[in-house]
Structure 1
Amino acid sequence: MGSPETTRSIGLLATGGTIAVAPPTTGNQDHVGVAALTPPAPDLPERIEVVPRDVLGRSSRKLTVDDLWTLATAVDEEIAAGRDGVVITHGTDTLEETAYALALLVEPRVPVVITGAMRSPHHSGPDGPANVRAALVAAADPSLAPYGPVVVFQDEVHVARLVTKMHSARVAAFASPAAGPVGFVAEDEVELLLGPAPGTDRLPRSNPPTARIGLVHAATGVDGSAADALTSDPGTVDGVVVAALGAGHVSPSLGAALVRLARAGTPVVVTSRCPDGALLRETYSGGGSEMDLRRSGLHFASTLSAPKARLRLLFGLSAGIPLDELFPTRRPVRG
């Protein structure tokens, strides 16, 4: 965590969520400010100085893509001000999406860490204080910067691309099904298990979000009307992400509708509704198969979940980045 004598300046940005919920007094849920989330000096890890700042005082279910842009801007401002790391407190419902949005928009010059809580401060056994402490420790470790924004929860360190909320209510809510955590925090030190990925998800350029992206979830009986409904009104969406079955399949009817969209010029990106596993390339054929969709001009999002692929497409299109750069095809499908 740097030399023993070095004091690390950590920006603490608060956005609301369970970690900051105030005791209920009215029908509306209020949030405490960042001051209530900042550990008092005697409880801080050694050689860490916290600079607190309120950014967005609302639940994560209420956040918009404009809010994600605002938060990314705030992180950049903290880095420009000379912070050695940044911690963001956040609601857990969309925490993984915010983490990935920051991976798209923020250059990883210092550690950027996102955390939250599953138990409110006024409930028995709140987990927020321990998560904030572990996040501060992680943000003070410069070796985490190359990983891009990470999620620290229950002393585990997860990369933004892979992490997901796996349980709706348990304290240990987050996991990375494809690879597991890249490290953990113990005794106010970061222990890394896996090296950073060879590349980052950061976009080569970014603009405030203007694109509108629709989401389609494949399931039994979901046909082409699900995609047609999204685009029945011209200009409704600028692109579509589909959470496909298994390794990249949809019903023949839905597949035909998605192909029509792609051929008409609407970007269509395929993901899997499975939390782990590869999107296939040339195993299954026929209407709605991965071979049919790939040959028809649809793009595939590799290991990204549908919500994260949506953010990549949304911010990428807003910045005018070609689809082939956002979701590259690594090898051709056999004809």
Structure 2
Amino acid sequence: MGVALFTLGGTISMAGHTPGGEGAVSRLNGADLTAAVPGLARLGMPLDIHDIEAVPSANLTFAHILDLVDSASQAVKAGACGVVVTQGTDTLEETAFLVDLVWPHAEPFVLTGAMRNPTLAGPDGPANLLAAARTAASPAARGLGALVVFNDEIHAARWVRKTHSTSTATFASPNTGPIGHVIEGHTRILTAPVRLRAPYPRPEALDNTRVALHTVTLDEDVDTVAAVADARHGLVIAGFGVGHVPGRLADLLGTLAERMPVVLTSRTGSGSVLRHTYGAIGSEADLQRRGLINGGLLDPYKARILLRLLLAGGADREAVTAAFAEHG
């Protein structure tokens, strides 16, 4: 058995420069990536390389990731003890959560990438790839679902976030911290996240399911929120603090919640939406009385992933509410 490596592009695979000398271009395939990693040969098992279409992570879609999960699943069924995926970091936290919701195997599914491309001093890609491969090969990581391994830290997909635009320590789990570390080449799991439920099946109506996300800001324009929600099947609201919006938005959000699921989250980056601490118009208690669904600890980006997956799979309001009570 070995580890299946799937490469999607991103900073980790960039090398060389455009003709004008500005910016890196994607040129490295899986064989190039692995050849640049000192110590990978001592992993103790082979890497089975699968080069997928190299695209910036900003261009990835649900379909891309679900196709990747299907391919990774086939690799596991063929004997792989774990999976590593390299991709760009821009959307890595979202793809990891989507994978976690649908991954049906005990074998680890590990995502990683880089913040410094190989043309720069101190590229972090080789170290991240080595740590990811060690984690994917480790029996200690079995049953943990999708993981993000960066900077020798192991993060659960449900909690991890990209927190800095350039730092090599960008990935963090503000609510929990990392669940483990790679120390002297060994994977150490310190706490295991609970796998909440059986994986969701791949939905058939994904292309026809539209879910919007709107971040509430100071002096918010009601018409803007209405326009964002127009012709959507669901809406995620990233509210202030513990789940508040300007009072003038409350009626609109209540009206929207009568025709589609509207999930209330916090724009802060960590912490939970509350349920019954504040009661003014536009507060979390008021919005829930109007039919909004509490997103709990899920950040807005992950809430949108879950809501779209649920609606594309035909979930009704009761099922959506129950799912967010479980995941949030």
- TM-score by shorter chain over 0.5: yes
Matched, 1:188 2:181: no
Matched letter for residue 34 of structure 1: G
User: How far apart are residue 199 of structure 1 and its match?
Assistant: 1.9
User: How far apart are residue 25 of structure 1 and its match?
Assistant: 2.7
Q: Give yes or no for contact 1:75–1:106 (8 Å, CA) kept in 2.
A: no
Moved more, 209-218 or 75-84: 75-84
Match of 1:169 in 2: 166
Give 3-state SS (helix, strand or coil) of 1:307's partner. Answer: helix
1:188-214 alpha-carbon deviations (Å, 9 max, x no partner): 211111122252483266446221111
1:141-173 alpha-carbon deviations (Å, 9 max, x no partner): 123122210000000000001000111101111
How far apart in 2 are the matches of 1:123 and 1:74? 32
Q: Give yes or no for contact 1:45–1:188 (8 Å, CA) kept in 2.
A: no
Q: Give yes or no for contact 2:108–2:145 (8 Å, CA) kept in 1.
A: yes
Give 3-state SS (helix, strand or coil) of 1:97's partner. Answer: helix
How far apart in 2 are the matches of 1:306 and 1:275? 9
User: Structure 2 residue aligned with 1:12, among 5, 26, 31?
Assistant: 5
- TM-score between the two structures when normalised by the length of structure 1: 0.90
- Cα 1:202–1:254 change in 2 (3 A) is farther
Match of 2:306 in 1: 312
Matched, 1:252 2:250: no
How far apart in 1 are the matches of 2:320 and 2:141? 25
- TM-score between the two structures when normalised by the length of structure 2: 0.91
Give 3-state SS (helix, strand or coil) of 1:109's partner. Answer: coil
Match of 1:69 in 2: 66
Match of 1:224 in 2: 222
1:11-50 alpha-carbon deviations (Å, 9 max, x no partner): 0000111001121134783342222112479642331210
Matched letter for residue 69 of structure 1: L
Which structure has greater helix proportion?
2
Matched, 1:30 2:26: yes
Q: Give yes or no for contact 1:244–1:250 (8 Å, CA) kept in 2.
A: yes
User: How far apart are residue 304 of structure 1 and its match?
Assistant: 1.1
RMSD over aligned CA atoms reads: 2.1
Matched letter for residue 150 of structure 2: F
1:291-332 alpha-carbon deviations (Å, 9 max, x no partner): 11111111112111111111111111111123433342769x
Identity of aligned residues (%): 38
Query: What does residue range 77-226 of structure 1 map to in structure 2 within 5 Å?
Result: 77-197=74-194, 199-200=196-197, 202-203=199-200, 206-207=203-204, 209-210=206-207, 211-226=209-224
- Cα 1:135–1:330 change in 2 (3 A) is closer
Q: Give yes or no for contact 1:112–1:145 (8 Å, CA) kept in 2.
A: no
Match of 1:292 in 2: 286
- Cα 1:285–1:201 change in 2 (3 A) is farther
Match of 2:47 in 1: 50
User: How far apart are residue 108 of structure 1 and its match?
Assistant: 3.4
Moved more, 91-100 or 316-325: 316-325
**Count of residue pairs the alignment pairs up:** 320
Matched letter for residue 15 of structure 2: A
Q: Give yes or no for contact 1:115–1:135 (8 Å, CA) kept in 2.
A: yes
- Cα 1:315–1:91 change in 2 (3 A) is same
How far apart in 2 are the matches of 1:48 and 1:183? 22
How far apart in 1 are the matches of 2:275 and 2:162? 28
Give 3-state SS (helix, strand or coil) of 1:87's partner. Answer: strand
> Could you list the runs of 5+ residues in structure 2 that have no partner in the other structure?
none
Match of 2:318 in 1: 324
- Cα 1:205–1:37 change in 2 (3 A) is same
- Cα 1:185–1:166 change in 2 (3 A) is same
Matched, 1:279 2:273: yes
Q: Give yes or no for contact 2:274–2:296 (8 Å, CA) kept in 1.
A: no
Matched letter for residue 28 of structure 2: V
How far apart in 1 are the matches of 2:65 and 2:248? 35
> Could you list the runs of 5+ residues in structure 1 that have no partner in the other structure?
1-7
Matched letter for residue 310 of structure 1: R
How far apart in 1 are the matches of 2:292 and 2:198? 20
